[in-house]
Structure formats: structure tokens, C-alpha cells
Amino acid sequence: MQEEPMFNQTQLNDFEAVLDAFHGYDNLAGVFVGNEVLSFANGSTAAPYIKAAAKYVKAYRDSKGYRTIPVGYSAADIPELRPYLQDFLACGGNASETVDFFSLNAYEWCGASSYTVSGYSQLEANATGYPLPIFFSETGCNTVPPRTFGDQAAIFGSEMVDTWSGAIIYEWIEEANNFGLISYGPEVAATATEGVGGFIRSGTPTPISPDFTNLMNQWATLTPTGVALSAYSASGSSLSTPACPTSTPNGWMINGNAALPSVGQSGAATAVTASATGTAGSAGSGTASSPSASATKSTANGGREIVGMTIALAIVMLSFIVWL
């Protein structure tokens, strides 16, 4: 919980169990140590626990001799925190304590929007020069139906393709929040054994019209160019580690240079809070002009958001950059 952050041995054991179960799959692109753990503008005191979780998961991965499976985080699109958290998880100069990738759940591009009106131009500005792979872990605003997925042309076009490593469309199966691209059948009773929460999750998929076709047609117009590992390595060597952000009067309350919490610690005090009158670090150069994720994404399926730090799999990625 971001109000009372914690990281304990039980959580670490769960993280380790996921790596034990999935490390042998060669199509595993990476793992998350959290999804939208920070979901409010005043939730920054939980940030050190996200970074600590990544540190311990990476240490366990290496101790077991597993391949270097990337460990990252999926962030809610909170304008007051977005650029600070992004830099905080990559700063410090110690690769054993930083995430390997950063991803964003963004629902800013709704309806017939544009690169500038949606705020994507600002996302690109904040991500330019970022030293880690960065991508959209959720996108697909549905507040202005039907969804036409116009943001895909920007993400895989000249404005963003050299910075962002693709996007994951939210979501595959139709549920109560109406984000699904396919359905496995009509809604059933929430207690029915053949469904989960009233929705069947197996069988023959039926495309949801017109969203499925709209996305298919949008992707058919795109010709993203892949990046060779040699080119990526060469360009990455010229990028510098961002400075750790210090506290700001607008919500970021963390001294980014302080030691990370250890297993068993809890509470905002051990998360190293700082005075809200501090000077902003380099991340503060980003500005926010778009709504937060909570303003544009429904959570009607009751519990999709992960409030604790649970580990999830990044399994459906379009044109995801290979950095292994």
C-alpha cells in the first residue's frame, strides 16, 4: 500500500517463486515488480520500496545463475510524479539497484486526438535521452468510443519510435470495463465455474467490433523499423544516468540519493521522506499537461490494479526492443 509501504520476506519469496517457475521460457521478455503501486499524487513514499524490490529480485536472479531476465516497473500516468519516478528508478549509477526497463500505463490519447493535444509530445520530451528501455505497458483509452487507436501511429512513427519500445494494448479479454478486444462468450454468473468474475476465459475467441478490426487496420498501416542490438548498444553508451530527483513542493517527497529500504522495513519514515521545500532534480524539467490514468481508465472489474508489489509477466508486446 502506498500509504503504508512495506517490503517483507513473504513478498520476496513470491517474487522468487515466479522467477523459478518462468526463467526457463526463452520467450519471457521480462518481469514487473509492481503495477501502479503509486496511484495517487501523494504516493511517492512507496517509490523506494519498488526500487528495493527490483534490487532483491535481480540479486536472486543472478544468484541462481538464470539468464539476465529484465526486471522493471509499470507506472500509473500521474503527471505530478511521472518524470520524477521515471528518473528515480534509473538513477544512482548502480545497475544492481535500478530497474532494467520502465513502462507507463497511459490513457491520454482519447478519440480523435493528436500527438500534441494528447500530451504524448510531453511524454516523448520526458523520455528523450532516458538510459533504459521505455514502453507503454497499457494504452487504449475507451472514453470516446469506438476506439480507433490513433496513438499507435505516433508510438511507431517518426515522433516516438526512436525512443519508445512499443506498446501493449489494454486488454485482450472483454470484461465489465469494456476494454476487451475479444470475447469468449456472453457474461455468466460471477459464481459460475466456467468463468472468472463472470467472464469466460477459454474457448474460441470472437473479435469485439469495431475495436478489434480498428486496431488491426491501424497496425496494418504501420511500418516500424527494428533496432539491431549493435546499434542499440552503441547509442545507449552515449546516454548518461539521470540525477536522482530531490523533493519538490508538488508531490515528490523522496530524497533519491538515500539508501534503499531492506527486507522487513515498512512505513514512510523508512522510505526516506524529505522536506517538500527541496530543490527539484533533473526530472523536474518535465511538465505535465495531461490527465492522470485514474481520470481516463475505468477499474470496473474491481481489483485489476495491483496495489501491493506483486510480480507480473510482460508477455504480449508489439515490436518490443530486444536488449538482452
Looking at the DSSP bridge assignments, the partners of residue 200 are 195
160-193: burial string, b at 16+ Cβ within 10 Å, e else: bbebbbbbbbbbebbbbbebbbebbbeeeeeeee
Active site residue 36: yes
Q: Of the listed 36, 80, 97, 175, which one is catalytic?
A: 36
Q: Amino acid identity, residue 194?
A: E
279: left (phi over 0), alpha (psi -120 to 50) or beta: beta
- HSE, side-chain direction, 13 A CA sphere, residue 129: 13
Cell 515522433 sits at which residue? 159
The one-character DSSP state at 6 is B
The one-character DSSP state at 237 is T
Q: Amino acid identity, residue 203?
A: G
| Residue-wise DSSP of 256-321 | TTSPPPPTT-BHHHHT-B--TTS---GGGG----S--HHHH---TTSS-S--S---EE----BSPP
Q: Of the listed 80, 138, 174, 175, which one is catalytic?
A: 138
11-26: burial string, b at 16+ Cβ within 10 Å, e else: bbeebbebbeebbeee
Active site residue 97: no
Q: 288 with 122: CB under 8 angstroms?
A: yes
Say whether 120 sits in a helix, a strand or coil: helix
CA distances from 183 to 66, 147, 171, 180, 189 (A): 36, 16, 11, 7, 16
Q: 98 with 129: CB under 8 angstroms?
A: no
Q: Which residue numbers are catalytic?
A: 36, 138
